Structure 1
Amino acid sequence: MIIPIADVKQETLFSIIESFVLREGTEYGETDVSLDDKVQQVHNQLKTGEVLLVYSELHETVNIIPKQKLGEFEAAEAQESNGP
């Protein structure tokens, strides 16, 4: 399920983004990018719809995924909820 970022308190949203950035360990090339800059980049991507904030009812978790991966996310959720 997609969570509209407007429905999430700013403090909570930034905590989710920070957790995502720290978990992902994204490589930004030769130059170092601060945590604050990485968080702001992801926040901007959420605002433009490039990435989505999603909730997995099955796993009861929140994650950030690229928009183009939404179909895969939904299919995996449906398959796992239907069992083996």
Structure 2
Amino acid sequence: MIVPIDALEADTLYSLAESFVLREGTDYGEEEVSLDVKVQQVLDRLKSGEAVLVYSELHESVDIKRKEELQASDEVE
């Protein structure tokens, strides 16, 4: 189930984005990007609709997915 980002408090949304970034692992790009910048990038993608919050009733957890990932999985099912 997709959770609208405006249904969450700003602090909660930030914490979800921060947790997502921390799970993604180490950045091996040419330039080091700070945690705050990475979190802001995730928040920007959520606000633009490129990414969405997905609640799993089975796992009782919230994850962040690219919208195109969800559309691709819907087409497979």
Say whether the fold is shared (TM-score over 0.5).
yes
2:5 maps to: 5
Alignment partner of 1:65: what SS? Answer: strand
Q: Structure 2: which 5+ runs fail to align?
A: none
* Counterpart in the other structure of 1:65: 65
Quote the Cα distance in structure 1 between the aligned partners of 2:52 and 2:26. 17
Give deviations 1:12-59, integer Å, cap 9, x for gaps.
000000000000126361100000000000000000000111100111
Residue in 2 aligned with 1:81?
none
What is the TM-score normalised by the length of structure 1?
A: 0.81
Q: TM-score, normalised by structure 2?
A: 0.88
Aligned residues: 75
Indicate the residue corresponding to 1:25 in structure 2. 25
Matched residue, 1:82: none
**Percentage of pairs with the same residue:** 59
Bigger CA radius of gyration: 1
2:14 aligned residue? 14
Structure 1: give runs of 5+ residues left out of the alignment. 79-84
Distance 1:12 1:26 in 2: 23
